Structure 1
Amino acid sequence: MKEKILISACLMGFPVRYNQSDKPVRSALLARWQQEGRLIVHCPELAAGLETPRLPAELTDGQGADAFTGLAKIRETDGSDVTPHYLLAAWLALKTAQENHCRFAIMTDGSPTCGSSRIYDGTFQGKTIAGEGVAVALLRQHGIEVFAEHQIAALAQRLVEVEQV
């Protein structure tokens, strides 16, 4: 069976990031997976009703999982607490993944929603730290394996392992 993969829309060339840009990944593997119908393209923030462009947002006082317990917040550069919008984005990403039977995801690293190995540190100074965003935390809690855009080769290897069974 060909496993399905949830993928951030910006990585597929859609201008959905906070600054109305994209972050396209050019990869023969992605092209093949798209042709095979494996990729489920999704932008959690747009699904939750956030607009583009929008103010930059970063996690403060913790990681993505901490936002679900109220320990961490997601704030915009003007100090606005937008945590509820981003938590909704996480739940919608999970819903999309589950409805499409995605076992894997490729998410945009650095994002307070989609960061899977790095997130911005909450100071709006362009510094990143090891961590994960709210959607990635929720996806992982529900058994979906998440990879960053620079880990496509690792995902390809994982697919070989899973699909040989």
Structure 2
Amino acid sequence: MEKILVSACLLGQAVRYDGGAHGPFAELLHWQAQGRVVPLCPEVAGGLPTPRPAAEILGGQGAQVLDGLVQVRSIEGADVSAAFVAGAQIAERLVQQHGIRIAVLKARSPSCGNRHSYDGSFSGNLVAGEGVTAAALRRLGVQVFNESELQEAAQALRLLE
């Protein structure tokens, strides 16, 4: 049975930076009931508390954080890159441990965003880019979807099985 890495906040777990959650989403709960879901909040796993100050990637490119070229900064100005990279590394280990080939992660998150990320100015500006964990997973060949792409994720899962 294919396992799916899922952002814990999409399962209704209160791990967002502001202590909130998203979802839960019916498809994700169905997969969870089947025993497919491996939940993770990379930011919490990387050592950040809940709640925590909002954070954004300078320039919005998670791959550049992995490569040490840019930082993830909190709205207070603290460099929180190490926690984001640590969370991505935990996600990588889970992918390898469970043979995961699909992930459903939170859109626009500095960890999990798969299509867009905030630009680091804390002004609400989105840029094409991905979060730190999403970038790490793509490098491993994992197909990364967000909560608005659940039908596409389900199709990818059918093709793998």
Deviations, residues 96-120 of structure 1 (Å, cap 9, x unaligned): 2221221110000111111111111
Q: How many residues align?
A: 161
CA–CA distance in structure 2, aligned partners of residues 116 and 44 of structure 1: 14
The question of 1:26 aligning with 2:25 is answered yes
Of 6-15 and 46-55, deviating more is 46-55
SS in 2 for 1:17: coil
Cα deviation, residue 124, structure 1:
0.3
Amino acid at match of 2:94: T
Unaligned runs of 5+ in 2: none
Q: Which residue number in structure 1 is paired with residue 5 of structure 2? A: 6
Alignment of 1:15-94 (within 5 A): 15-27=14-26, 29-94=27-92
**TM-score normalised by the chain length of structure 1:** 0.93
Q: What's the % identity of the aligned pairs?
A: 42
User: How does the TM-score come out when normalised to structure 2?
Assistant: 0.95
In the TM superposition, residue 144 of structure 1 has moved relative to its aligned partner by 1.1
Note the residue ranges of structure 1 that are not aligned, 5 or more in a row: none
Match of 2:138 among 137, 140, 144: 140
Match of 2:99 in 1: 101
Q: Which amino acid aligns with 2:137?
A: L
CA RMSD after TM alignment: 1.2
C-alpha displacement at 1:142, in angstroms?
Answer: 0.7
